[in-house]
Structures are given as structure tokens and as C-alpha cells.
Amino acid sequence: MSELKVFTIKKNIHENNAKVAQATREELKKQGTYLINIMSSPGSGKTSTLVSTIKALKDEIKIGVMEADIDSDVDAIAVQTAGAKAVQMHTGGMCHLDATMTKQGIDELGVEELDLVFLENIGNLICPAGYDVGAMKNIAILSVPEGDDKPLKYPKIFGKVDVLIVNKIDVIEHFDFRMDLLEERVRKLNKDITIFPISAKTGEGMDEWLNWIRKEIKTRG
């Protein structure tokens, strides 16, 4: 396993975020790399979902991960151990990533030979939703213990993302959580959203999620 690269990202206040995001998307498309931005609350299972995904797909898709955290490198080590190329991005206290920061991560990771790159964004449901990072698709992860009312409290992120992963369905019987009510609330905000109920721990529902990735990589949507 190669040595993990850890670096601190810097915010460039002079850059136009939309311009940088679009340029990043175009550059990645030209070289055949598909970027997915993953957002969620802390503890929802972003890293465990990525680890399960990487283990399932690493023999057929070349995967990279940019791990963004205020500090620590434990998540980057986890995805690297699972079989992905990884870099750890320290934000210096910032609660989101923008397109300029993401571009720094792309440059540090080196994505020329990668088919798929995941950006694991900072863990919260508010700040990351406001920034285009240059991804082809935006994904939110909501875990069952967080509750089915989160779309009511944080409508912006659920209205923005292309995919919602509902993680930890293996414990749903222990919580007051209604999947039908969650879907109803989410689709009022985002009628075109795709929803995948999964358990990253047991593997339940993972096949649908993995097949969605395979299709996206094949079409480079």
C-alpha cells in the first residue's frame, strides 16, 4: 500500500465557483473520470458505504477517493486499505468544500488513470449543499437513526442531490422510522431523485447501488 498523502486545502476567494466547477467537470469528462460528491451528517455511514463499494468494484473500476475532514486521516486510511487510491484533505476548520478546493484535491490525487472518484465532503447537511464542486452527480446519505424528518429540517440538500442513500436499514426495526414517509417528503422536494435503501454493514440493497454506479461509469453521464 502506498504512503497516504495528507494536505491542507486553501480557499481562493478570487475564484468564481461556478466557472471553476464547470471547467473541472469538462476536464474530467475529457479524460474519462467520473466525479461523485457525497454529503451527509457525521456518523451516517459515508466511509463505511465507500469501503463496501470499493471492495465490490475495485477489480472492475479504478477508484479514487478524496477524504475531506477538519483533521485526522482515519477515513482516508480506511478507503485506501479497501483498495482505492486516496488523499486526505484537511480543511482548517471550514465546514464545506467549493470547486477550487475540490480541484486542489483532484490535482493532489492524480486522477488521469481513474474511472471513478468519490469526494467525501465535510460531515453536515447545511454548508456543503450550497456549493457546486464540479461533480457529475451529487449524493446524500441519510442513516435510519437520524430519522425520517430530516428532509423537513434540511430541505436544500435533499432538493439538490441526484441520489439519496438511506443507510443502516438493518436496524430499522429498532427506530421510529418510516421509509414510505421519508420518500414522500423527499420527492416533494425532488421528484427526480433516485433512492437506494441499503445496509453498508450487511450488504442489503447494495446491488442496486453498485449497478447504478456501473451504468453511470459506462455512460459517463
Domain ranges of the chain: 5-9+17-219
Per-residue confidence of the chain (221 residues) as pLDDT tens digits?
566 776 566 666 556 899 999 999 999 999 999 999 999 999 999 999 999 999 999 999 999 999 987 666 788 899 999 999 999 988 777 778 899 999 999 999 999 999 999 999 998 999 899 899 999 999 999 999 999 999 999 999 999 999 999 999 999 999 999 999 999 999 999 999 999 999 999 999 999 999 999 999 988 74
CA proximity to 65, closest of 101, 100, 12, 106: 106
Per-residue confidence (pLDDT) for residue 13, from 0 to 100? 57
Shortest CA distance to 46 belongs to which of 98, 117, 120, 116?
120
Q: Which CATH number, 3.10.20.30, 3.40.50.300, 3.20.20.140, 3.40.50.9100, labels domain 5-9+17-219?
A: 3.40.50.300
Contact 147, 173 (CB under 8 A): no
| Pairing verdict, β 5-8 and 63-69 | unpaired
Which stretches does DSSP call E strand in 43-148? 63-69, 85-90, 116-120, 137-143
| Separation CA 189–CA 43 (nearest Å) | 24
- Look at residue 110 in the predicted model and tell me its pLDDT: 94
